[in-house]
């Protein structure tokens, strides 16, 4: 497969937040989310993916799992294979089984096995290379299992230690064209020395979680300094309010599986 094909998305899987969404896991300390506003923000997000040319498969809420709206954590999908994750937080264990049934329509699947743990939010792809975060949710065993699977399909992978953030993609995201938007903690990592790096100001740390979707870049609303940097890239921007997902430790990338 050519590099250009790796990052051209055709599909997305999303899951609507349920009525018990506010009972999910959070360390944000930003208050209880407004479910009606969260639903409006979710719909705006889906419309944005469609604007980017994706077919969006919308799953109904999984009421047993308040965090299930953050569907990205359950699987990593490449042009060749889907890897079903094994969530690092026990309260989310089981979400991946529901998503697996859907992904089987699109790809052959393999699974991360015990004792490995792995969340999709710790995986960042740049063309045919993957960065795998070692975090509180993804352990070394899970990362090495994924690296082995990816290598079998011709992808290279580097492991990156994650500190101070929930997931790798909380502070490390692909902008395309050999560019990354990152927190300063990752700047000197030798794995990314060949990339152009754009640093998010510490006071706007949340703004690092952007999503490149084909010819557009999805950007969270409310972070003017980061927005000014991104406007210089000459990529069409779609600015989205995700305040109610931020309250539950979620961001733009968390809300979909794109492939």
Residues serving a catalytic function are: 167, 254
- 86 secondary structure, DSSP code: B
**CA distance linking residue 85 with residue 132, whole number of Å:** 13
Under 8 Å CB-to-CB from 110, ≥6 apart: which residues?
81, 82, 83, 84, 149
Closest among 116, 109, 110 to 93, alpha carbons compared: 116
Q: What is the 3-state secondary structure (H, E, C) of 66-78?
A: CCCCCHHHHEEEC
Q: Extract the runs of DSSP E, i.e. beta strands, from the chain.
A: 11-15, 55-59, 75-77, 82-84, 109-111, 123-126, 129-134, 156-161, 172-176, 179-182, 196-199, 211-213, 216-220, 237-240, 257-258
Residue pair 103/75 in contact by the 8 Å Cβ criterion: yes
> 123 has which bridge partners?
132
For residue 226, the surrounding DSSP H or E stretch is helix 224-231
Q: Which residues contact 222 (CB under 8 A, 6 or more apart)?
A: 241, 243
CB contact at 8 A, 152 and 179: no
**Under a CB-based contact definition with an 8 Å cutoff, are residues 68 and 248 in contact?**
no
């Amino acid at each position: 497969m050519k590099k250009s094909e790796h990052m051209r998305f055709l599909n997305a899987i999303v899951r609507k937040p349920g009525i018990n969404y506010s009972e999910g896991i959070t360390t944000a300390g930003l208050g209880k989310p407004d479910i009606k506003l969260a639903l409006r923000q979710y719909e705006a997000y889906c419309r944005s993916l469609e604007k980017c040319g994706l077919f969006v498969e919308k799953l109904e809420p999984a009421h047993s799992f308040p965090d299930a709206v953050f569907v990205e954590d359950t699987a990593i999908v490449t042009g060749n294979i889907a890897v079903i994750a094994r969530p690092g937080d026990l309260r989310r264990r089981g979400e991946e089984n529901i998503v697996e049934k859907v992904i089987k329509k699109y790809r052959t699947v393999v699974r991360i096995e015990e004792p490995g743990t792995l969340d999709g939010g710790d995986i960042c792809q740049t063309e045919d290379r993957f960065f795998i975060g070692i975090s509180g949710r993804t352990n070394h065993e899970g990362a090495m299992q994924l690296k082995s699977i990816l290598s079998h399909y011709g992808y290279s992978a580097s492991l990156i230690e994650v500190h101070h953030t929930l997931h790798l993609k909380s502070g490390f995201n692909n902008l395309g064209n050999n560019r990354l938007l990152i927190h300063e903690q990752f700047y000197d990592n030798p794995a990314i020395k060949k990339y152009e790096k754009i640093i998010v100001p510490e006071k706007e740390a949340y703004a690092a979680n952007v999503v490149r979707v084909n010819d557009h870049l999805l950007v969270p609303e409310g972070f003017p300094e980061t927005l000014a940097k991104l406007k210089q890239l000459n990529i069409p921007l779609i600015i989205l309010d995700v305040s109610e997902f931020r309250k539950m430790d979620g961001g733009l990338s968390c809300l979909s599986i794109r492939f």
